[in-house]
Amino acid sequence: MSLALSASLHVFLLAALTSPKDVTARTPTVAAIPRNIDIVIVRPENESFPGLAPSEPTPEPAAFERPYSPLALTNATFDLDAIAKRAHVLFPFLSPGVDLGLFDLRGDAALRSQYVAATGRGPGRPAPPLTATPAQLQVLIDRAWSRRQRWQAVQPILRLADTYDANAADMPGLLRMYSEQNLGQYYEDHKRLSRDQRLWAELSVAADHVSFIGYIRRYVAAHPSTKSATELLFLLDKTAEGNRNILETLLSTEPRQHLADTQRANPHAYDLAIELQKHYRQILRARGLQTDADVMAVYEADRLEILGGIVRSTPGGYRANDARFLIGEIHWSAKRVPAAVSSWCQMSVDAGDAYVDTYRQILSALPADSRGGCASSPVSGVTQREIDRILERRAKQSWDFQFYRLYKFGYRFDSF
Of 286, 262, 260, 258, the residue nearest 272 (C-alpha): 262
Give the helix/strand (H/E) hosting 401: helix 381-408
In sequence order, what are the residues at sequence separation of 6 or more whose Cβ sits closer than 8 angstroms to the Cβ of residue 29?
none
Q: What is the pLDDT of residue 368?
A: 73
388 plus 258 within the same structural domain:
no
Give the helix/strand (H/E) hosting 310: helix 292-313
Does residue 356 form part of some domain?
yes
173 plus 222 within the same structural domain:
yes
Number of domains in the chain: 3
Q: Which residues pair with 72 in a beta bridge?
A: 77
In sequence order, what are the residues at sequence separation of 6 or more whose Cβ sits closer than 8 angstroms to the Cβ of residue 145?
153, 181, 182, 405, 409
Domain boundary among 245, 272, 291: 291
Chain-centroid distance, C-alpha 245: 13
One-letter amino acid at 151 equals W
One-letter amino acid at 277 equals Q
Q: Give the N- to C-terminal CA distance of the chain in Å, as an integer.
A: 50
Question: Is the C-alpha dihedral spanning 290, 292, 295, 296 positive or negative?
Answer: negative
Of 252, 213, 209, 179, the residue nearest 83 (C-alpha): 209
145 plus 230 within the same structural domain:
yes
Does residue 305 form part of some domain?
no
pLDDT digits (tens, 9 = 90+) for 41-95: 556 777 789 999 987 777 778 889 999 999 999 889 999 999 999 999 999 999 9
Q: What is the pLDDT of residue 371?
A: 53
269 plus 372 within the same structural domain:
no
196 plus 272 within the same structural domain:
yes
Q: CA 164 to CA 228: how far, in whole Å?
A: 10
In sequence order, what are the residues at sequence separation of 6 or more whose Cβ sits closer than 8 angstroms to the Cβ of residue 124?
none
Q: What is the pLDDT of residue 132?
A: 94
Q: CA 273 to CA 262: how far, in whole Å?
A: 9
Of 28, 105, 126, 124, the residue nearest 311 (C-alpha): 105
In sequence order, what are the residues at sequence separation of 6 or more whose Cβ sits closer than 8 angstroms to the Cβ of residue 224?
104, 107, 112, 313
Does residue 32 form part of some domain?
yes
Q: How many CB atoms lie within 10 A of CB 298?
A: 20
Low-confidence ranges of the chain (pLDDT < 50): 1-35, 37-40, 110, 113, 115-123
Q: CA 70 to CA 390: how far, in whole Å?
A: 44
- Specify the DSSP class assigned to residue 53: P
Give the helix/strand (H/E) hosting 158: helix 155-163
Q: CA 311 to CA 308: how far, in whole Å?
A: 5
253 plus 325 within the same structural domain:
no
User: For residue 305, with 0-12 CB atoms within 10 Å meaning exposed, 13-18 middle and 19 or more buried, which class applies?
Assistant: middle
178 plus 274 within the same structural domain:
yes
* 167 torsion bin: left (phi>0), alpha (psi -120 to 50), beta (else): alpha
* 317 torsion bin: left (phi>0), alpha (psi -120 to 50), beta (else): left
Q: Is the peptide bond before 96 cis (omega within 30 degrees of 0)?
A: yes
284 plus 412 within the same structural domain:
no
Q: CA 213 to CA 232: how far, in whole Å?
A: 9
31 plus 120 within the same structural domain:
no
Does residue 226 form part of some domain?
yes
Range of the domain at 30: 1-39
Q: CA 46 to CA 49: how far, in whole Å?
A: 5
Q: What is the pLDDT of residue 57?
A: 72
Does residue 238 form part of some domain?
yes
pLDDT digits (tens, 9 = 90+) for 141-198: 999 999 999 999 999 999 999 999 999 989 999 999 999 999 989 998 877 778 999 9
Q: CA 294 to CA 58: how far, in whole Å?
A: 25
Radius of gyration of the chain (CA): 25
Q: CA 338 to CA 328: how far, in whole Å?
A: 9
404 plus 277 within the same structural domain:
no
Q: What is the pLDDT of residue 177?
A: 97
Give the helix/strand (H/E) hosting 31: none
Does residue 147 form part of some domain?
yes
336 plus 279 within the same structural domain:
no
272 plus 175 within the same structural domain:
yes
Q: What is the pLDDT of residue 410?
A: 95
Domain boundary among 244, 274, 291: 291
